[in-house]
Amino acid sequence: MIIAERKPLEEIFSMVKSFKKVLILGCRGCVAVCNAGGEKEVATLAEALKLAAKKAGQEMEVLQETFVRQCDPEYLEPLAEMAKDFEAILSMACGVGVNLIADRYPDTLVFPALNTTFYGANLEAGSWEEKCRGCGDCILHLTAGLCPIARCAKNLLNGPCGGSQGGKCEIRPDVPCVWHEIYERLKRLNRLENMKQIMPAKDWTPAGHGGLRRRKREDLLAR
């Protein structure tokens, strides 16, 4: 799941303070699950913006809408007409949604209301933790399902560094060393032979270092 958090109100208001009619557009996808951009958050931001505008002595009409998703073109189709009625759109989706709106509606001003942070898991209500970096070259079959790219502070591929002590990372005493966890899990699963495999230098091209990433499935493309 993509994890995001709302930008500070001051930053958001600075983006749209020169406009008199603004649409806040929420998303019922990942950002709704992590309580950053769903209908409730849209309503909260709308009221906050109205108060900020009033305090600044400005006129601003703030309207609200929430789509099923902002990362799929079919759900953005209503914007073709809606966008004409607004001077700017504040997207409460992840950065993918902001990009897609900008791509499809080049004459529409769209601004991000959220900071997109990482791919994570919901540990408990109100708590998320990064589990995947989306590097495009998955090695989880060798590391017992635990990702050293996302969960090691140094992205090490061949065991822990010298700073790891007592199963903890040197960056903070409350952060577990993922390589310690990998070792213990491989041991429990009788797969310690995986630790003997020397991983080569990682090819970071699939992670986006070669430019814009795309993927196509010929069997799914419309003919």
The full set of domain ranges for the chain reads 2-118, 133-199
Please enumerate in sequence order all residues whose Cβ is within 8 A of that of 151, keeping only pairs 6 or more positions apart, or say none: 130, 131, 178
**Identity (one letter) of the amino acid at 173?**
P
**Cα–Cα dist 3/61, whole Å:** 29
Q: Is the pTM of this model over 0.75?
A: yes
Describe the chain by its helix, strand, coil percentages, rounded to 5: 35, 20, 45
CA 29, 31, 33, 38 torsion: positive or negative? negative
- The pLDDT score that the predictor gives to residue 124 is 87
Per-residue pLDDT of the chain (223 residues; tens, 9 = 90+): 999 999 999 999 999 999 999 999 999 999 999 999 999 999 999 999 999 999 999 999 999 999 999 999 999 999 998 888 999 999 999 999 999 999 999 888 999 999 999 999 988 888 998 999 898 888 898 899 999 999 999 999 999 999 999 999 999 889 999 999 999 999 999 999 999 989 888 888 888 777 777 777 788 786 6
SS3 40: helix
Domain 2-118 has CATH 3.40.50.1860: yes
**Cα–Cα dist 163/183, whole Å:** 16
130 neighbors 155 (Cβ within 8 angstroms): no
**Cα–Cα dist 223/218, whole Å:** 9
Between strands 61-67 and 88-91, the pairing is unpaired
Among 76, 73, 108, residue whose Cα is nearest residue 89: 108
